[in-house]
Amino acid sequence: MSSIAEETLLRLARRFDQAALAELYDRYNNGIYYYALRLLGDSSLAEDCAAETFSRLLRALHDGGGPTENIKAYLYRSAHNWVTDYYRRTPPLPLDPEVDIIEPESDPCIQAEENIIQSQVRSALRLLTADQRQVITLRFIEGWEFEQIAASLQKPVGAVKSLQHRAVSALQKMLLKNG
């Protein structure tokens, strides 16, 4: 089942084929989790985001909706919307490093410094627009191509590049102003 084409996987998933749904989950769930974790900095929130993203997928398929061709883009957009909603509901992140992200076996000093940078980046990302944030995250953290991001945002590639340009300018001002 692991080598199954995405189109076939989607068709089987629409029929609620349990094996196909399990395959779909295994194929994309970890990526969604880490995507959420990078943006949220909290593993519990990331688990919630991933669980809700896949639950929404099931409900959409049940109602005859859901992705038409690109499951990955659909899932990342859904997760991004969840994160955006979360940002709206909660106050901005504190500048203190997230304890949750500290790796127990790593050097505490290095880890602390890394956590500070992560927190700064996360705070800066939060100040971007939702689309800019998604472009930056997918492009520079998840490593997607413009075409994939365009599919996820349901925008033309040119619009994605424009979003990236403005987002990078904003991030440079926010993150590099002190050198």
Partner 1 sequence: MPPDLDLDPKLVSKLRALQATPTRSPQLASRARTSFLVEAARLAPSSHSQPQTRQGGWNEALKNLWFFRQKGKNALLNFAITILLTFALLIGSGVTAVAAAQSAQPEDVLYPVKTWSEDVRLDWEHNPQSRLDLTLQFTDRRIAEIQASLAVNGTIPEPVLARLQSEQEQTLALAAGLPAPQVLPALTQVRNRARQQDQALSDMQLPNSHAAQYLARVETMLQNQAQLAQQGMDNPEALRQRLRNGDYSQPGTNIPAGTSTPCNGNGSGYGPVRSQTPQVDSTPIPGSGYRYGSSKTPPADITSNPGSEPQGSSTPKAGNGPGPQPASGSGGGKGGKP
Do the beta carbons of residue 79 and residue 73 sit within 8 Å?
A: no
Judged by CB, which is closer to partner 1: 44, or 154?
A: 44
Helix, strand, coil shares of the chain, percent, nearest 5, are 75, 0, 25
Site for partner 1 in 137-166 (CB under 8 A): 137, 139-141, 143-145, 164
Residue 117 lies near partner 1 (rule: CB under 8 A): yes
Virtual CA dihedral for 135, 73, 50, 24, nearest 10 degrees? -150
Residue 1 lies near partner 1 (rule: CB under 8 A): no
Residue 70 CB, nearest distance to partner 1 (Å)? 18
Give the integer Cα–Cα distance in Å for 52 and 176. Answer: 35
From 20, 17, 16, select the one nearest 3 (Cα to Cα).
Answer: 20
Which of 1, 157, 159, 175 touches partner 1 by CB under 8 A?
A: 175
Which of 55, 90, 129, 154 touches partner 1 by CB under 8 A?
A: 55
From 136, 145, 143, select the one nearest 166 (Cα to Cα).
Answer: 136
Give the integer Cα–Cα distance in Å for 43 and 48. Answer: 9
Residues near partner 1, by CB under 8 A: 15-16, 18, 21-22, 25-26, 29-30, 33-34, 37-38, 43, 47, 50-51, 54-55, 58-59, 61-62, 100-103, 114, 117-118, 120-122, 136-137, 139-141, 143-145, 164, 168, 171-172, 175-176
